Structure 1
Amino acid sequence: MTVYQKLMYVSTSFAVALSVSMANYVFYDERLPDTTQTEGFYTDMQTQNDKLLKHFFPYEIVEYELEVPDNMSYTQAEFQKFKGTYLEKKSIAADESYLERIAFCGDSLTYHMGMNGNRLADYDVLAYGGLSVSDYATYTQNPVYNQSSVSGKTTIAWLSELKPEIVYLFLGANGMSIYDVNVHINLYKALLTKIKAATPSSKIVLVSASPWGTSANPQYTSKDIKELNARIDQFNMLLLELAKDNGCYFMNVAESMTDSSGYLLGSYDAGDGLHWSMAGRSNYVDYVLEHPIPGY
């Protein structure tokens, strides 16, 4: 018998054996009587067939703890490395006293939430309209702390004085259409270094940039909004990596503000595609309370 014939013989034998096993596995209940005498045979046959199938077609069902959000393109396996960094929703939200521990840092989106009549008005907000990662640490033209009318004092100086237990850093909107995402993240990293130096004991949460709405005002960007939102998704993934690499947390509020097409939800859009309505601002605070740092 030639080598070729032997291979054909082995292949045919294997195919027949596998076919019989699979047929037994699928149709055994139609061939054998349903009695107690056959119960043991059923169990043994299923066990042997499962072993045979798994041997030739190995597989493993893996249950992952973290689910990949819709606004990120990691595989389930890849995403597990962010366990402990990515803030997960708790079954019971933190109460409002959690907000007392936080300094909310950001641009106009955060600034508006700290104004009178908004949910963060009585809490520490360090923000001003138009700020970006490149000038957040040095801006002095207007008061940046909502609990003080003092101007000429930087956010970094305030952080150094306040020494908050937790810092929520929410920036990126004002640089998204200007910077390449890698340049943007490097600027963010430089700012993060300054914040950590100013208040080294603070826990820091990096907040995902929110998407733009379909009604985006040309005053704010001339870029195609769909492409801009794709850039935001990429930025947020890099921001998550930055959080992990620097021992920070990451809060993906963007997932709660994005519609099925990747745009800012209409109910959260204040009308210019960038800023939030009162509902959007309230959603942000609710999301903070529903996704607190572990242990709070």
Structure 2
Amino acid sequence: MMINHKSTRRSLRTGWIAAGAALAVGLIAAAVLCLALRPDEAAPSEVIPAESSAVVMPSSLSSQEPEPGSQSEPESLPEPSSSQSLSSEELAAEPEESGASSAEEEPSGEQPAPLSGDALVPEGEEMDNSYFDDAVFVGDSITSGIALYGVMANTKVLAAQNINLASVYTSPAIRLKDGSKVAIMDAIAGGDYRKIYVMLGGNEIRDESEEAFLTRYSKLIDDLRDLYPDAILYIQSILPVTKNNRYRMDNARIDRFNEALLDLCSEKGIHYLNVAECFKDEKGMLPDSASPTDGMHFGTAYYEKWFAYLRKHALPVEAE
């Protein structure tokens, strides 16, 4: 029997061509399927903006529950343990890291000289918690933690993220009962307070000149005295930070601004609380263990230290 080799080769060639064509079609189909399933990298993803400020509402101004899902509502955060600090995502992420930073000053390794001046409130008889019944605390995210942790639930807190001596007048940070928002200085005007505690400056002293800082603080003091001429006005020192903090803040600069702030309070005849001294370690800084996450925000234990200091540094209120 004769084998037709030429016919056999032709059949094999035809089979290989058909198989190759089928494979090519399969590869093309798979590629098309992958492209169809692959997300469009050029298309922007949807961004749901969070509110720009963290609002800690005083009970006298709002009974509304915080809006669910908002990153800016501190009430939605779990309470860390007393040794845990708040992360920058949890409390304010402030000061903002944009803009030029001041040159870091080389720490001397020595504690600055103790503050002294007529405005400095000395340690005295310890007050009980009812002293804060008719008080209001004004500030930024550090002050917001008073309400967040429920450290002094009987007091009022008007505070928000990223608030400074300018935005306290302009940023709509406080939600009213009707759902609208007003600036802190507008909100405080509607109260009835016998003591006003202010802690501001942490969001601006890194980049702000001392002169501008004092000018703005002076205006705030004057406006608060106009609103509440019979109230005790306490200006609290700016708090220290850890040596290595995410905001590139410097404790030597903080100390210098605090000294200038004490002088301003002396000139204006109001009261200065050196709260920073109860936060500092032996090197004059916030201990790393107090704020291991960002070097600025802290947990319950340090809020307790803060109010223990305030109870021992308080002026008696004259009976009406």
TM-score in terms of structure 1 length: 0.65
In structure 1, the residue matched to 2:260 is 238
Q: How does 1:146-161 map to 2 (within 5 A)?
A: 150-161=179-190
Q: How many residues align?
A: 208
1-structure distance, mates of 2:141, 2:291: 14
Code of the aligned partner of 2:157: V
- After alignment, is 98-107 or 179-188 more displaced? 179-188
Out of 240, 246, 265, the position equivalent to 1:211 is 240
Structure 1 counterpart SS, 2:168: coil
2-structure distance, mates of 1:151, 1:270: 36
2-structure distance, mates of 1:111, 1:144: 14
2-structure distance, mates of 1:256, 1:102: 21
In structure 2, the residue matched to 1:136 is 168
The alpha-carbon distance between structure 1 residues 162 and 210, as it changes in their structure 2 partners (threshold 3 A), is: same
2-structure distance, mates of 1:293, 1:121: 21
What is the RMSD of the two structures over their aligned residues, measured on CA atoms? 2.2
Which deviations, in whole Å up to 9, do the C-alpha atoms of 1:49-74 show, x marking residues without a partner? xxxxxxxxxxxxxxxxxxxxx54466
2-structure distance, mates of 1:131, 1:284: 20
Contact kept, 8 Å, 1:169 with 1:207, in 2: the verdict is yes
Q: How does 1:1-296 map to 2 (within 5 A)?
A: 71-72=112-113, 79=116, 82-83=117-118, 85-90=119-124, 92-115=125-148, 117-140=149-172, 142-143=173-174, 150-217=179-246, 221-222=247-248, 225=249, 228-269=250-291, 271-294=293-316
Structure 1 counterpart SS, 2:198: strand
How many percent identity over aligned positions?
24
Which deviations, in whole Å up to 9, do the C-alpha atoms of 1:177-211 show, x marking residues without a partner? 11022221111112222222222222200000011
2-structure distance, mates of 1:110, 1:211: 14
Code of the aligned partner of 1:136: V
In structure 1, the residue matched to 2:14 is none
The alpha-carbon distance between structure 1 residues 279 and 161, as it changes in their structure 2 partners (threshold 3 A), is: same
1-structure distance, mates of 2:214, 2:179: 30
The offset of 1:167, in angstroms, is 0.4
The offset of 1:103, in angstroms, is 0.5
1-structure distance, mates of 2:178, 2:310: 27
The offset of 1:137, in angstroms, is 2.0
**Structure 2 segments unaligned to the other structure (5+ residues):** 1-110
Contact kept, 8 Å, 1:127 with 1:144, in 2: the verdict is no
Q: Which has the higher contact order (CA 8 A, sep 6+)?
A: 2
Larger-gyration structure (1/2): 2
2-structure distance, mates of 1:240, 1:149: 39
